[in-house]
Structure 1
Amino acid sequence: MTTVSRASWPGRTPDGAAGPEAGPGRARDDGCRGERLERAVAASDAPDVVFALSREGRRTVRTGGTAPPPPHPRDTLLYETGSATKTFTGLLLAELVDEGRLSGGEPAVTLLDGGRPPGSDPVTLAHLVTHTAGLPALPAAFYPRALPAWRSNPYARFPDARVIDAFLRHRPRHRPGTRWRYSNFGVAVLGHALAAATGTPWPDLVSGRLLRPLGLRHTAPRAGAGAGTDATGHGKDGTAVPGFDAGGFGAAGAVRATPHDLLTFLEAHLDPARCPPLAGALYAVRTPVLRRGLGHRHVHTVAWFRHPADGGPFYFHSGATLGQQTFLGFRPATGTALAAVCTRRFRAHDPFLATAYALLAGE
């Protein structure tokens, strides 16, 4: 059984300062960092790989892969972030709460079903973003519809209306807020609830409230948004796969971006003051709101997994589509951010995620 301990909604107080100023050894450190990134690229064993690291505002980027170089430089392509999209959706909710537009305690059913009374123990927006809503990873009705396109684009067969309908029909096995279960379904529903609460579709909310204030010109909240040239994903056997269509699960997996834009996104988390309109929300998504597991060892914020490290915690989230993977993370105590992407999906014993995690943990 998983027990959950919840803190109050996050506030503005940062939990880590920027790292020390650069010293005489900086050039040497940059060289060593570049060598570590090159080793990480090689270890990832994927057709296209980019590791982009920022330390105290200074960026080091290395690209490579097992495939011939594509027509455009690898670090200028837009990569599918998969579940790392949830960090954008979590920040969006935090921004709406910081603005006073929402509290996080709103019942999702009331927003999505024409003001229906919520009843006892309703699923709230806070439950959805923290994976404590009592929802499965995917709705039961998803699988029979998705199966014919399981190896191409299963999510595209389950559009917005079906996600909302599946939520309104679902009866949780456990009282919301009592158990943690990672759920693409739940965060997808959150995106639709935010759209209903604001009268603005989720992609437009992300574009207007996050991408433009942060200057992310090469980030798209949906396929075909015209932000740049998409990277081509590959299956486990190395064959190319179609571009990912998130269907009604956009808030849980639709964002695609260049490594440089992803690094800009992370740098804003390291220094929220650089973006005053989002400063409160950027600080808020660092704050632990849920602890679970034996001894409450697993810590979560409304957007990130949070792990301890010498000198201060680091925050991370990974994501995968049928043919691509992403790892995003940052360490406030050392002023470090890492955006890593690759164009192959591994199912088990994945070298990419382990390499990216170890690199961030060692910075």
Structure 2
Amino acid sequence: GGDRLAARLDEAVAAADAPDAVFAVSRRGRRIVRSGGTAPPPARPRDSLRYEIGSATKAFTGLLLTRLVDRGRLSGAEPAAALLGGHPSRDGCPATLAHLITHTAGLPALPPGFLARALPAWHTNPYGRYPGDRVVAAFLRHPPRHRPGTRWRYSNFGVAVLGHALAAATGTGWQDLTERLLLDPLDLRGTSVRSDADGRDATGHRKDGEALPPFDPGGFQAAGAVRATPHDLLTFLEAHLDPARAPDLAGALDAVRTPVLRRGLGHRHVHTVAWFRHPTDGGPLYFHSGATLGQQAFIGFRPDTGTALAAVCTRRYRAHDPFGAAAYALLADG
């Protein structure tokens, strides 16, 4: 029941051992939110702050692509290089928008030369030193390492390039597209894709507890720029559970549940254009995690139980992560 779930959320908050942590669950429309932390309570309630969700931003970018496809603006088969003013491919097999969002474009995790440029700001804001024009130039200059469509390799670089390709195809920046086509229709007023110095953002911390400046995604907005309140993240997930809540997005919300890629032993790793998809006894669960230098997030939903889960915290872990494990377990058991 609700009391048992609330107790489990309290346990997860404590186990996160972070300055701030929020675990929020929506089950068949009823929300339970628990928050706490090792730091003194901030001026605003923890569950009303915006948290950096890092790579979980990719769930928004995947939905944005399917929204543009659903509206007939794109097909997903467009060669990204052609949209960005380069030559589609030297070998006749160009990396398409669909390859980029599914991490099959043959690209490395980060652009060639990224580390050298980011090194001076490695512990504060490495991505901020790599703007959008550099992301695009690196993509156009370096051919894929593998033939697009043949291998899966998780790539922040690829999804960042996708954001710039969507902007080129529509004449509208990724931030504006995301606000107009996702945040506004879903009424996500506690979500931001821009830097807002309005005092609503949670402060990230290093492992040693030192506070960090806000994350600057540089040219990687589509791969990691979203900051959102736990309540907005639940609203976003509830729309996936019940697409009728957002009629304009219903087609796209259905599309992002569809498996497009299976890999690994026995094909047990299944991907959609926006989510990792794992089996449970009752049906699939969908999830994405993310992290910046000083914050972490986990979002996911289970259609069979009508459950959505959003978890955020303001410390980054490297190994034996109690936060991610607790969030996944709550959804898998839910």
State the TM-score, normalized to the length of structure 2: 0.98
Question: Offset at 1:225?
Answer: 7.4
2:169 to 184, 197, 218: 197
2:265 to 282, 294, 303: 294
Q: Corresponding residue for 1:352?
A: 323
Residues 169 and 334 of structure 1, relative CA distance in 2, 3 Å threshold: same
Q: How do 1:108-119 and structure 2 match up within 5 A?
A: 108-113=80-85, 116-119=87-90
SS at match of 2:219: helix
Give a deviation string over 1:188-217, Cα, whole Å, max 9, x none. Answer: 000000000000000000000000000000
Question: Offset at 1:255?
Answer: 0.3
2:277 to 273, 294, 306: 306
1:278 to 249, 252, 267: 249
Give a deviation string over 1:173-196, Cα, whole Å, max 9, x none. Answer: 211000000000000000000000
SS at match of 1:102: coil
Q: How do 1:90-239 and structure 2 match up within 5 A?
A: 90-113=62-85, 116-119=87-90, 120-224=92-196, 229-239=200-210
Unaligned runs of 5+ in 1: 1-28
Q: How do 1:2-17 and structure 2 match up within 5 A?
A: none
Q: Corresponding residue for 2:36?
A: 64
Please give the alpha-carbon distance, in whole angstroms, between the structure 1 residues aligned to 2:55 and 2:323: 15
Please give the alpha-carbon distance, in whole angstroms, between the structure 1 residues aligned to 2:11 and 2:217: 32
Give a deviation string over 1:201-258, Cα, whole Å, max 9, x none. Answer: 00000000000000000100122275x6000000000110111000000000000000
SS at match of 1:295: helix
Please give the alpha-carbon distance, in whole angstroms, between the structure 1 residues aligned to 2:173 and 2:312: 27
SS at match of 2:283: coil
Residues 272 and 362 of structure 1, relative CA distance in 2, 3 Å threshold: same
Please give the alpha-carbon distance, in whole angstroms, between the structure 2 residues aligned to 1:102 and 1:295: 33
Question: Offset at 1:117?
Answer: 4.9
What percentage of aligned pairs have identical amino acids?
75
- The answer (yes or no) to whether the contact 2:88–2:94 under 8 Å persists in 1 is no
Residues 225 and 293 of structure 1, relative CA distance in 2, 3 Å threshold: farther
Q: Corresponding residue for 2:16?
A: 44
Please give the alpha-carbon distance, in whole angstroms, between the structure 2 residues aligned to 1:293 and 1:111: 32
Q: How many matched pairs?
A: 333
Q: Corresponding residue for 2:298?
A: 327
Please give the alpha-carbon distance, in whole angstroms, between the structure 1 residues aligned to 2:302 and 2:153: 26
Q: What RMSD over aligned residues (CA atoms) do the two structures have, in Å? A: 1.0
Asked if 1:266 is matched to 2:237, the reply is: yes
Please give the alpha-carbon distance, in whole angstroms, between the structure 1 residues aligned to 2:249 and 2:147: 33
> Greater CA deviation, 244-253 or 30-39?
30-39
Q: Corresponding residue for 2:222?
A: 251
SS at match of 1:247: coil
Give a deviation string over 1:273-318, Cα, whole Å, max 9, x none. Answer: 1100000000100010000112211000000000000111000000
State the TM-score, normalized to the length of structure 1: 0.90
Structure 1 ranges of 4+ moved more than 2 A = 116-119
Please give the alpha-carbon distance, in whole angstroms, between the structure 1 residues aligned to 2:88 and 2:175: 28
SS at match of 1:75: helix
Please give the alpha-carbon distance, in whole angstroms, between the structure 2 residues aligned to 1:328 and 1:291: 21
Unaligned runs of 5+ in 2: none
Q: Which amino acid aligns with 1:83?
A: S
